[in-house]
Each structure stands twice: as structure tokens, then as C-alpha cells.
Amino acid sequence: MTDTAAQIPGFIAGTWAIDPNHSEVSFTVGHLVVSKVRGRFDAYSGTIVTDEALDRSSVNVTIDAASVDTHMPIRDNQVRSDQFLDVEHFPNITFVSSAVRNEQDRYFVDGDLTIRGTSRPVTLDLTVNGFSPDTFGAIRSSFSATTKIDRTDFSVSFNAPIPGLDKAMLLSNEVLLNMDVEAVLQTGDTAD
């Protein structure tokens, strides 16, 4: 085991399938300058590969953009429209990693995020929550990751001025993305 993998308690190398029933992919965007709107995506899938050499680890996630849920159906339909995600023409949001690295006891995943057909490099700030057997005999892993993006970099540029406030806009350009993922070790794929 490499020094990097040895730093992770209970580390298990393998290929993991994201369990959407025990995971959450969510976002937060500023609203009316003084507030925030939170939402999530309810349908997604992905694979995580953990390797004793971090540079051989990877993440690949596909999100169904139409599964957005901000707890307000009218707003959800607007987010699905061509003003925002344009799910009719761009049904998926994807993330494909290019590197997994450790810097000063912190983990990062670099990769390409694609929204509305536009790909941009992003870096996820990663927390390895752990590895554990479950009550049905499977092995599970858990990870949390965050990143901030400028939505206009992905052609999600709709906005509107707030009446009475000079230069104030309805929505912030910055969006915080959060992923809390639980994944299941694939059968026959065990640590060396």
C-alpha cells in the first residue's frame, strides 16, 4: 500500500457503484442578494475507483438534469427550461475526473464538469468519510465533495434586476455544489 492510501483509515481498493438511495447531489445559489435557494437532483449514477495509488483513482458521474428539485414545482420547471439547464437539449450533467490528489492531508478531485453541453475544469474538495460493511454483507464507502462554479461559465446566464436596488440581481452567478455519496463495492472486486 502506498503512503497516501495508508493515511486513509480502513482504505479498500476497488470499483464502487454510487447508491442513489443513500446519497445526495445538491446545490445552493444566492437569491435576492440576502438569501439562498437550495435544490437537489434526484436521479444520478456513477462509478468511483479507489486505488492504492491515488493517481489511478477516478470518478465518473452522470446526473439526470430533469430530476432537479427545489421544493417548488413552478421553479423546477423554469430551471428545466432553456432559460437555465435546457434539459430538452441537454438531458445530462456529467463529471469525469482527470486526477485525484493529496495535498497537505487534504484530498482533491480534478475533472471536467459538463452542464448544458459546456465542459469546464473544476476541482472537488473531497472528504473520505470511510469504508464499512453493511448489514446485508456488502462493503460500502462514503465520500463528501464540494466545489463552487460560476454558472455563466456553463451558459446558464438567465438573471433579472431587483427593482429598487441599484445593480442588484435576482440570482448570484456563484453556485455551490455538494455531493454526499455512499457507494457499494462491486461483486468480485476486492482489495488486493
Tabulate helix, strand, coil % of the chain (nearest 5): 15, 55, 35
139 in any annotated domain: yes
130 in a domain, yes or no? yes
pLDDT above 70: residue 64 = yes
Q: How many domains does the chain have?
A: 1
CATH of the domain at 157: 2.40.128.110
Please indicate, yes or no, if residue 190 is contained in any of the structural domains.
no
pLDDT (average), residues 70-77: 90
Sign of CA dihedral 185, 52, 95, 146: positive
Distance separating alpha carbons of residues 67 and 154, to the nearest angstrom: 18
What pTM was estimated for this model as a whole? 0.88
Residues 147-190 have pLDDT tens digits of 999 888 897 775 555 555 566 545 677 889 999 999 999 976 54
> What is the DSSP annotation of 31-96?
ETTTEEEEEEES-EEEEEEE-SSGGG-EEEEEEEGGGEE-S-HHHHHHHHSTTTT-TTT--EEEEE
Structural domain range at position 170: 3-185
Length of the chain counted residue by residue: 192
pLDDT attached to residue 155 = 79
Is residue 78 included in any domain, yes or no? yes
- Are 143 and 100 a contacting pair, CB within 8 Å? no
Please report whether residue 156 resides in a domain. Answer: yes
Statement: residue 141 has pLDDT above 80: yes
Asked if residue 192 belongs to a domain, the reply is: no
For residues 104 and 125, the answer to whether their CB atoms sit within 8 Å is no
Q: What is the pLDDT of residues 8-32, one digit of tens each?
A: 888 999 999 999 999 999 998 875 5
Q: Is residue 181 a part of any domain in this protein?
A: yes
Does 106 fall in a domain? Answer: yes
Q: Is the pLDDT of residue 98 over 70?
A: yes
